Amino acid sequence: MAQFKPNIVDLDKFKPTLSCLFKNRSSEYLIDPEDVKKFNTVWSFIDKFDLEEDFRKFLSKEGDCKNFKFIFAAVFFNCHTNESIDFINQSISKNSNLQDRHPCKFAFDLLFGWILEYFIFNKFGSKFGVNKSGCDYDYSFKKGRNINSSADFVLGTRLIELSVDNWGCSLPRKNAFHLRWKKWPKILEEDMYLFILCPNHSKYHFYHCSSYAEALDVSYVKRIDSFSKGKEDVDGYLFKGWNKLPARDLTPDNISKSFNDLLNARI
C-alpha cells in the first residue's frame, strides 16, 4: 500500500484549486491506487445517476462542511490547507478505528462510503421516509455522542444497515463477502435489513437479515485480510453461496421499488 501523504496548498489557492480539481475530475493528489479506484467509482456512480451538481453541493455544504467550508472536497481530492488538516486531526485522531492510517486517509475512506449512501438513501429513499441514523447521522468526522440508532438508516421501526462491497465480492464470481467484528450478530439481534451496495458492478442486495442467514453459508473468521493492517487482526464473518441470493441492477426504478417494498412489508 502506498504511503498516504496529504497535499497542502496555500489558503488563498484552496478554493480555486478545489474548483479546478472538480471541473477536471482530477485524482492527481491521490497516491494509493486503491484510493484512485474509489475516486473513479464515485464519479462513475455520479454519472450513472446524473448527480454532478448535487455532488458539488454535497462536497461544499453538507455535514462537516458547515463546520469547515469545503472540508469534504478537501478530503475527496486530498487537497488541504494546514487548517483543514488541523480540523481533521482534531476530529479523527483519537478514533479507535484508525488502524495506523493517517487521519486524512481515514477521512477519505469514511467519505467514500458517505457519498454513495447519501445519494442512494437521500435521493431515492427520503421520499419513502428513510432517515439517516447511527453514530455518523450528521456526516461529521467527529464521532457523534447523540446516537439515535445502531443502524445506518431507519424507516419507521425498520432498521437498515449499509455495507459497500466495492469489488463485487458478494457476486457469484467472487463469492466471499465479509462483515467486520460483531456487526453480523448485531444485525441479527436487532432484526435489521442489510443493503449491500456493489457500485463498481452497478448491483445491490437488499434483504432482511433472515434471508441472508437462511440462503448463505456464514462462518466466523479470526482475520479478514482486507481489513487487517499489519499485525492487527480484524475478525468478523465470511458470507459465501451468493448464487442463492441474486443481486439487483442498481437503477433508480429498482431502488425506489425496493424502498417501496420495504415500506409495505414485502421484503
146 band by pLDDT with thresholds 50, 70 and 90: very low
Beta carbons of 27 and 36 less than 8 angstroms apart = yes
| Amino acid letter, residue 256 | S
Nearby residues of 117 by Cβ (< 8 Å), 6 or more positions away: 152, 153, 162, 164, 197
pLDDT at site 103: 92
> What is the mean predicted confidence (pLDDT) over 48-70?
95
Which of 107, 113, 110, 116 lies closest to 87, judged by CA? 107
pLDDT at site 233: 80
What is the C-alpha separation between 206 and 165, in angstroms, rounded?
13
> What is the mean predicted confidence (pLDDT) over 188-195?
95
Task: Count other C-beta atoms under 10 Å from residue 10's C-beta.
Answer: 9
CA dihedral 38, 44, 45, 49 (to 10 degrees): 170
Three-state DSSP at 134 gives coil
Prediction pTM value: 0.87
Three-state DSSP at 256 gives helix
Which of 223, 228, 160, 221 lies closest to 196, judged by CA? 160
Which of 208, 215, 235, 213 lies closest to 224, judged by CA? 235
Q: Could you report the per-residue pLDDT of 88-119, keeping only the tens digit for each?
A: 999 987 776 777 788 999 999 999 999 998 99
218 band by pLDDT with thresholds 50, 70 and 90: very high
> Does pLDDT of 1 surpass 60?
no
Q: How far is CA 161 from CA 5, 51, 206, in A?
A: 32, 23, 10
- Average pLDDT of the chain? 88
> Does pLDDT of 220 surpass 80?
yes
72 band by pLDDT with thresholds 50, 70 and 90: very high
Query: Comparing 2 with 142, which gets the higher pLDDT?
Result: 142
Instruction: Give pairs for 16-24: CB < 8 Å, separation 24+.
Output: 17/79, 18/70, 18/73, 18/74, 18/77, 18/79, 21/73, 21/77, 21/79, 22/56, 22/59, 22/73, 22/77
Query: Comparing 95 with 4, which gets the higher pLDDT?
Result: 4
> Does pLDDT of 267 surpass 70?
no
Beta carbons of 130 and 160 less than 8 angstroms apart = yes
pLDDT at site 84: 97
